[in-house]
Structure 1
Amino acid sequence: MVARTVRITPIEPRPMPQPPRYETPEQRADRNLVELLQELRVAQTGVQILFAFLLGVAFTSRFPQLSAFQRGIYAATLLLTVITAAVLATPVALHRGLFHRGAKPRIVALSARYAEVGLMFLALAINGAVLLLLDVVFGHIAAIALTAATTAMFACLWFVVPWYLRRS
């Protein structure tokens, strides 16, 4: 019996051809807005959890023992979280404020920009919380180094990869 070597070559993913969408510009705007608002619901939940955590931190018995550096991180992170909540909720306010005014494509375009800015603030707020916690646990140098790594991760996953894929 002769042993055979089986060579497996990786299969390169090919983009699946998408059937054309037969939708009017208004239908496309409706669909895009629904998809965007669903994405924002997911992000807003994370913001609410982070905000609740930060509010709870201020009322712990250990909070008075935080250094001035740690209190500064806390305050900056809390404010970044508030800004994030406001920016990510703006598309809902735009939709409500311009409802039935024939401005849906404009609402979608503006809301997409607000979502991008909101994600940037969310990444900063999350990394602020990471910095605060790691500083308490490990000290300044380790906290800064690890937070730089998580910040780079967010930048790559949320901004660089989508930018790269848009260009290719």
Structure 2
Amino acid sequence: MTADVLDATFAALADPTRRAILARLAEGEATVTELAAPFAMTQPGVSKHLRVLERAGLITRGRDAQRRPCRLQAGPLKDAMEWLASYRQYWEESYQRLDDLLAELEAGRSGPPAAFEEPEEPEEPEERHHRLRMRDDGSGERRDGSGRRRGGPGQRSGGAGAEGAAR
């Protein structure tokens, strides 16, 4: 399987009309007229979609007297599935590592998360509340638990900077 064949297959599959045509052809061969029936488009419009599918190798068109039936060719779909399957192992291994990490974290947890552990020195209740609600994201701006900015370099305490004036 070459990259061009794979590109053509995925490009053909990118359109919902072409996917619907392939689904119909999976049931058996059909003419352009039969394929055009469920769509709100002309036969020439459907023919353009069929040409894309044909160039991708996903369908063939035959000749049966006056009929020109289209048939599904599943080979390129099989190649695309094999290509996607090559990534399946990668993702399964990634998810397994994540599961292992979560299990390790759950097994090691005996108290609150480290971010909310009590400080060694006692604090005033108001200071503790402020410390737990505010965080510094490294940009010099302080943000509360919901991610809203709360003061920082170049910002007035009222929050009416350039952004506030635009509201």
Question: Do they fold alike, i.e. is TM over 0.5?
Answer: no
Bigger share in strand: 2
**What TM-score, normalized to structure 1?**
0.26
Bigger share in helix: 1
Structure number with greater Rg is 2
**What TM-score, normalized to structure 2?**
0.27
* Higher relative contact order (CA closer than 8 Å, sequence separation 6+): 1
